[in-house]
Structure 1
């Protein structure tokens, strides 16, 4: 069932939902623009919140409602990727989208990252971010294999009379029950690491977080085995 897919491509597309609208004029140079922007983008992506300082320097003056809508789009995209990666039942997802979104919000709210000071000597500006990678998706790989073995054995030994579609739906439901249980427990983290995110100016002299660096950061904060 599981599909092998390059997460960095998916997270790159997802990150555009947020990054594409958060731009900052250079006349705010008295502040650490790169740090504020990086912190705000990460907070919106993982927690659906951002500081007043961040909102004050947005070029497009996005409303709280617009920022909330973008956060919901991010969560939807992350749910989509999860289902694609593990090859789960898409019909089940559509029927349970609201509940799934709440589970993912719980998981993503537990992301740990700390945006450090900007290295102003570098051009473009570069911010270092200390992260603690979440282990939940890696642990779900083991849960996937264990559940697959269990259901395969049950079918072989007990001559289970179910269609492939019925088995697929049952697997999806049971796998997601395990994921929900994991989401409610204390999050486990891997060894902390430091990554760099560039914040260059575009042709209009406006700062913007580098999309590829942001996508890589997302993949480091909540990694899957296949990146």
Structure 2
């Protein structure tokens, strides 16, 4: 099993039994999350920005406008912290104190670099597009040279990481189990509704087969 070593940065201190350091668990969470949150310290000010991501091996790809201060910071090679969270359920206990959530989360530490070659930028953009909607890259028009130049793409080398998760029912104080209060888990999941066609869609074009079923 490929495992990240525990360090001062990635060690789970609160409820360590819920933690994991193997890449299979961590990357499974990263790949399942539709977005990530990227944290940096910019001129002494902490900043956290939500964005789309994609992973290949031990690398993360992000993209955006050349004016993005986040991407400018990352391409300088400064330390970066990336987090993702998947909410699996609301845990409703008998006492307010023991309410919780079932979740899977991952925290990644690394440093980035600017992707400058067109080929590596296109490969990263394909990975990001396929992360959003598998099958979309081959179906949609490819970026033009001008569009490619107008897009900044960075790669973050994953140096350290950890995952943490909670599963199962609420854990109440023993004396509270007899209370006349409903307790349990309300499962949650990301789902998609029926697709809404663009008002300017050409007649006769049906939703592609790769769209998630509703």
How high is the TM-score relative to the length of structure 1?
Answer: 0.23
Question: Which has the larger share of strand?
Answer: 2
How high is the TM-score relative to the length of structure 2?
Answer: 0.24
Question: Which has the larger share of helix?
Answer: 1
RCO higher in structure (CA 8 A, sep ≥6):
1
Larger radius of gyration: 2
